[in-house]
């Protein structure tokens, strides 16, 4: 199993590869800070014969692979989130549309009658979770969850950066959104606009901007729930579950018949190498569970 330093390098390499190839390892261990880049713009004014004055204005911080918007100023947030609002983040309309019409209750997505259950442990800062969410989850949602074959149980775990990191505080926003049955939209917007791991990108303002990008999410209620005991209790419960099930990294994907024992889609050998489940391996696990093979 890789050391924290080596694992951080592997996670960075995985994120750098983007959608071209599957990432080599799951997130594991403690990441270190990396400087973010600002996007400055100069504004020049001139009058009569006086010298031209140049003023540098910092517009925002590049938080994502696609370049999300600058953090909004106080007072710009809507009272109810909307993918079309002026503060909505990149990809928000598609993120909301992906889950439209699918039953959602808390951190569970899909019909209760689905014959197969999928459980997924994620970390909001994990770049490999972002890879899985962006490249594989849309296919899983459309092909298996929307059609009633699979029900997804999301487990927002936190371990990157250690106790007190933004993995711990950041997941509370996702959990709070799930109280309004909007957790999956929140997670998708978050991953579509994810910043560099453990760099300090997931601030309170960024969390609120993500929430403001989710259609129908009541921001005042969400904000209260984010710091409430209920969200904290659920987060603690996920930590206990991860420890009990000996979850070794993120993303971890477990699949099985509903009500039966769920199994990691990776073999023990793959797990020992910290491999990441591919879409093909996930679909093979669905087929095996559906057919009983």
CA-derived radius of gyration, the chain? 20
- The yes-or-no verdict on residue 43 having pLDDT over 60 is no
Mean pLDDT confidence for 103-129: 97
pLDDT at 76: 85
Classify the C-alpha dihedral 260-265-269-274 as positive or negative. Answer: negative
| Residue among 157, 176, 177 at smallest CA distance from 167 | 157
* The total number of residues written for the chain in this structure: 293
- The yes-or-no verdict on residue 177 having pLDDT over 90 is yes
Instruction: Tell me the pLDDT tens digit for each residue of 192-251.
Output: 999 999 899 999 999 999 999 999 999 999 999 999 999 999 999 999 999 999 998 999
pTM of the model: 0.78
Mean pLDDT confidence for 46-73: 38
Mean pLDDT confidence for 188-195: 97
| Residue among 65, 62, 59 at smallest CA distance from 37 | 62
Strand partners for 218? 80
pLDDT at 74: 53
CA distances from 112 to 31, 34, 102, 166, 252 (A): 37, 42, 11, 32, 22
- Cis (ω within 30 of 0) for the bond into 251? yes
pLDDT at 83: 97
- Confidence bin at 293 (pLDDT 50/70/90): confident
**Average pLDDT, whole number, for the chain?**
81
Mean pLDDT confidence for 68-75: 54
Domain 4-36+65-291 -> CATH class: alpha beta
Domain boundaries, the chain: 4-36+65-291
Mean pLDDT confidence for 37-53: 31
pLDDT at 71: 56
């Amino acid at each position: 199993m890789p050391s924290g330093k080596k694992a951080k390098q592997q996670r960075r390499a995985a994120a750098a590869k983007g959608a071209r190839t599957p990432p080599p390892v799951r997130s594991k261990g403690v990441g270190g800070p990396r400087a973010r880049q600002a996007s400055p713009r100069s504004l020049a004014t001139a009058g009569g014969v006086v010298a031209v004055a140049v003023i540098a204005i910092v517009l925002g911080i590049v938080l994502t692979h696609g370049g999300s918007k600058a953090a909004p100023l106080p007072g710009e947030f809507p009272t109810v989130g909307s993918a079309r609002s002026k503060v909505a983040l990149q990809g928000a309309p598609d993120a909301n549309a992906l889950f439209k019409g699918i039953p959602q209750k808390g951190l569970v997505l899909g019909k209760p009658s689905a014959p197969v259950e999928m459980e997924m442990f994620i970390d909001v800062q994990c770049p490999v979770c972002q890879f899985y969410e962006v490249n594989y989850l849309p296919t899983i949602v459309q092909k298996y969850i929307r059609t009633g074959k699979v029900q997804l149980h999301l487990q927002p775990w936190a371990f990157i950066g250690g106790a007190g990191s933004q993995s711990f505080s950041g997941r509370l926003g996702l959990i709070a959104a799930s109280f309004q049955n909007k957790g999956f939209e929140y997670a998708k917007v978050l991953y579509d606009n994810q910043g560099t791991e453990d760099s300090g990108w997931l601030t309170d303002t960024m969390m609120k901007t993500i929430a403001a990008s989710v259609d129908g999410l009541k921001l005042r209620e969400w904000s209260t729930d984010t710091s409430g005991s209920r969200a904290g209790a659920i987060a603690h419960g996920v930590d206990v579950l991860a420890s009990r099930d000996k979850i070794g990294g993120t993303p971890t994907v477990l699949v099985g018949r509903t009500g039966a024992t769920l199994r990691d889609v990776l073999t023990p050998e793959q797990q020992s190498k910290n491999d990441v489940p591919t879409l093909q391996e996930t679909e093979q696990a669905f087929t095996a569970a559906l057919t009983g093979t």
